[in-house]
Amino acid sequence: MELSRCASPADHGHLGSGSRATVCGRGSGRCATGHADTQNALAHVLREAGIERRSRRPQEPNFDLAWEANGAIFVGEVKSITEANEEGQLRLWLGQVLRNRQRLRALGHQQVVAVLVPERAPRDPAWRDLCDELDVVLLSGDELDRAPTLGTTAAATRPADAR
């Protein structure tokens, strides 16, 4: 089973699925820009590596970005975070990416990798440990260049300094 191709770049004025500006609260313009910039940067890194991003099909859950590589489907949720909303945003979107992985597997996708993509690394390093425990890749904005190699080895899901 394959995800649709040719998703369009994120628009700074429209956030896609859900009401992300509402979740972000005050400063939602910054949130929308941070979200779109991070999503577009990830799409660019993938495109440069020859990997096309995927659009969702009508029966699939809403997600920010997905791609296929190394025999797996990677489904990502991109997050803009501030110091004030970081904990709440990451909790909310970790649940969403886990649910998206579950729903894609239920649709017959054999190997689905959940990827949480905050625009910057969370201040609390325990977030990386939690993601590891849940088999979720935490790929912060400064690590986007790792995206094309995810899944090639078990160690590829962790940054070099954490191995």
Per-residue pLDDT tens over the stretch 126-151: 999 999 999 999 999 999 999 999 97
CA dihedral 20, 21, 27, 33 (to 10 degrees): 70
Residue 105 above 90 pLDDT? yes
Domains recognised in the chain with CATH numbers: 18-146 (3.40.1350.10)
Half-sphere exposure of 75 (CA within 13 A, CB side): 29
| Those residues with Cβ within 8 angstroms of residue 6's Cβ, 6 or more apart along the chain or in another chain | 52, 55
| 46 pLDDT higher than 60 | yes
Q: In angstroms, how far is the first alpha carbon of the chain from the final one?
A: 33
What's the predicted TM-score (pTM) here? 0.77
Write the DSSP string, 136-148. Answer: EEE--GGGGGGGG
The amino acid at 72: A
pLDDT in tens, 148-163: 999 764 434 444 345 3
